[in-house]
Amino acid sequence: MTPLLRVEDLRKSFGEVSAVDGVSLDLAPGQLTCIIGPNGAGKTTLVNLLTGRLAPDGGRIDFNGREITRMRAHARVQLGLSRSFQVNSVFPHLTVAENLAIPTLARLGRSGAMLQRAERVSGLEDAVRRLLAEWHLEDERKMSAAALSHGSQRLLEIAIAVATRPRLLILDEPTAGLSPAEKPQVLAQLRRVAASGETTFVLVEHDMDIVFSLADRIVVMHRGRILADGAPAVIRKDPVVREVYLGAALDAPVGGRGVSSGEPLLAVAGMNTFYGQSHVIQDVSMLLKEGEVVVLLGRNGAGKTTTLRSLMGLTPPRSGQVVLRRKEISRLPPHEIAAAGVAYVPEDRRIFLDLTARDNLLIAARQGRHASSASRQNFPRCGSASNGEWGGGWDLARVWALFPALADIQHHRGDQLSGGQQKMLAIGRALMSNPDLLLLDEPSEGLAPAVIRALADAIGRIRAEGVTILLAEQNAAFATRVADRVYIIENGHIPLEEESTYIRAHPEVLQRYLAVEDVSEHG
């Protein structure tokens, strides 16, 4: 049988980063394929290339026997290749019915009619009515899409794509941001559409339960390439795939424990955070003692980043308390939280691309409260390399000592640095503000095993300086190696808190929450 979609050696880079690096793929009609892989693996870029949102640098795409490599997006939709978006992309101030009318008008070939009332277009009313019924949106038909709950908006997002009656439907994380209660509804809809047999599906998905319950075939992406491709049973057992999800094999825990003074530094009580209607963080409570390294471990979309952003005041919690050294900070703006001694390293690093590595560090330099005044005087802020003695304050010399690779490239501009170097620079920049508490979002993500090892050592040395660290991670092996304690986060709440040593000894605990296999096997 000729494939419905044939992809040959597809390539796309952004600057020096190869987001999609030679992907070839055939899709047979009727199959449900799931694309999985860590963040930054190139999944969404691949979807964007297939659907015409991005133009490839090289390679070829054929759809239904026709080359579409450079075809405009709307023409691909007309041929029967539709998509939904990872972040809801509806028409916010149109009614739900109008949201569905637009793709339906396009399908009927009547979207350009000017002198006919929209509701008189033959076939439109029936089609929209049927869609509203099928997607359980009848009661909301007159509501503006912006007023819908996140779950209903998600349904509408997918329904708009389905309304074009695609032969191939590519869904980018259809269950993103949904509560456990809402997911089955989306799943049921996908099953219903799939049952009609007219549509071939490709899903990008992080939720392994969904992947294994739906997929006929799983494609695993990693760093822009296809790492593995096969039936779910095969993928589940593939050691390489497990390594990508588990991270590099790591041995004994990093030293430097026991510096914890036991004084509570950060207390979080009943924190709730929303994105619009979507209740992302639900009643999260945590306690961090001074000098501890604690990890928030969970899958993609579990709420790790939002928790860190809530602590930092970037997405302020709607309720609950965040207390840093007896000071309530949950209502403060981010710059005041930073001034109180919290530094945040986002997953996407956000370094200043136009500044040199050195200037990136200097711009953040600030004297912390934590460092003793004596050590501050001993280590001038912008001095040359120190003698390596570790006092209290962070300055250029200490950051160079922590990440020697950075010292060599200190005069390179941010955009010339590799992903790993940018990551180190972002951590270094956070340290330059001399924080008491360092929030690191997925520091190990997208790093090569050797770099991960160096990063683990660096974290050990930072905590030896008395900086308390909260990591968000999905790499269980890395997380349990560097951290004293683990908070498991799932769907925005924390079902489990354990010592790392316990988790390393009882890896089956993680399986329940992370749907990854054995942690100790590689460790």
**Site of interaction with other proteins (CB under 8 A):** 51, 53, 72-75, 77-78, 82-83, 85, 89-95, 97-98, 101-103, 105-107, 110-119, 121, 124-125, 128-129, 132-133, 138, 141-142, 160-161, 163-164
Q: Which is nearer to other proteins, 192 or 411 (CB)?
A: 192
Closest CA to 33 of 208, 225, 249, 229: 229
Q: Which is nearer to other proteins, 142 or 335 (CB)?
A: 142
CB of 81 to other proteins, least distance (A): 10
Q: Which is nearer to other proteins, 128 or 431 (CB)?
A: 128
For residue 499, the SS3 value is: strand
CB of 8 to other proteins, least distance (A): 24
CB of 10 to other proteins, least distance (A): 19
Q: Which is nearer to other proteins, 155 or 228 (CB)?
A: 155
In this structure, the number of other CB atoms found within 10 A of the CB of residue 523 comes to 18
Q: Write the CA distances from 126 to 62, 113, 119, 133, 197, integer angstroms.
A: 33, 18, 10, 11, 21
The sign of the dihedral angle between the CA atoms of 337, 339, 344, 346 is positive
Q: Which is nearer to other proteins, 170 or 178 (CB)?
A: 170
**Alpha carbon distance 236, 515 (integer Å):** 10
Closest CA to 196 of 32, 35, 85, 63: 32
- Residue 230's identity, in one-letter code, is G
**Alpha carbon distance 160, 411 (integer Å):** 49
CB of 57 to other proteins, least distance (A): 21
Strands 168-172, 200-204: pairing kind: parallel
- CB contact burial 427-436 (16+ within 10 A = b; e otherwise): bbbbbbbbbb
CB of 93 to other proteins, least distance (A): 6
CB of 313 to other proteins, least distance (A): 29
**What DSSP string runs through 405-470?**
HHHHTTTSBGGGS-HHHHHHHHHHHHHHT--SEEEEESTTTT--HHHHHHHHHHHHHHHHTT-EEE
CB of 142 to other proteins, least distance (A): 7
- Residue 408's identity, in one-letter code, is D
| Residue 161, token pair as written in the block | 């794509």
Strands 17-27, 66-67: pairing kind: unpaired
Q: Which is nearer to other proteins, 106 or 194 (CB)?
A: 106
For residue 143, the SS3 value is: coil
CB of 176 to other proteins, least distance (A): 17
CB of 58 to other proteins, least distance (A): 24
- Residue 403's identity, in one-letter code, is F
The sign of the dihedral angle between the CA atoms of 191, 215, 306, 315 is negative
Q: Which is nearer to other proteins, 44 or 273 (CB)?
A: 44
Q: Which is nearer to other proteins, 91 or 352 (CB)?
A: 91
Q: Which is nearer to other proteins, 84 or 468 (CB)?
A: 84
